[in-house]
Amino acid sequence: MTRLFFDYLVKDTRITLNSDDSHYISSVLRMHPGEGLTIVDSSGEEILAKIDFFDNKSVTLSVCSRRKCTSEPTNQVTLYQSISKGERMDLTIQKSVELGVARIVPVLSNRCVVKIDSKSASSKVDRWQKIALEAARQSGRGIVPEIAMPMSMDDAILQSKKDNSMSLILWEDEHKMSIKQGLEEHRDKCARIGVFVGPEGGYEEQEVNEAIENGAVCVTVGPRILRTETAGPAALSMIMYALEM
Q: Render pLDDT for 204-226 as a digit per residue (tens, 0 to 9).
A: 999 999 999 999 999 999 999 99
* Model pLDDT, residue 245: 59
Would you say 148 and 104 are in contact if contact means Cβ atoms under 8 Å apart? yes
Q: Classify each residue of 74-98 as buried b or exposed e, where b means 16 or more C-beta atoms within 10 Å of its C-beta.
A: ebbbbbbbbbbeeebbebbbbbbbb
* Model pLDDT, residue 114: 87
* Model pLDDT, residue 53: 85
**What is the spatial distance between Cα 56 and Cα 192, in angstroms, rounded to a whole number?**
45
Could you tell me the domains of the chain? 3-67 (2.40.240.20), 76-244 (3.40.1280.10)
**What is the spatial distance between Cα 193 and Cα 239, in angstroms, rounded to a whole number?**
9
**Helix pair 86-99, 118-139: axis angle to 10 deg:** 40
CA-wise closest residue to 100 among 237, 1, 243, 245: 237
Q: Per this entry, what is the length of the chain?
A: 245
Ranges of residues in the chain whose predicted pLDDT is under 50: none
**Helix pair 86-99, 228-244: axis angle to 10 deg:** 10
* Model pLDDT, residue 26: 87
| Rg for the chain, CA atoms, rounded | 20
* Model pLDDT, residue 125: 96
* Model pLDDT, residue 27: 86
**What is the spatial distance between Cα 38 and Cα 40, in angstroms, rounded to a whole number?**
7
**What is the spatial distance between Cα 55 and Cα 28, in angstroms, rounded to a whole number?**
16
* Model pLDDT, residue 1: 78
Which amino acid is residue 66, in one-letter code? R
* Model pLDDT, residue 126: 95
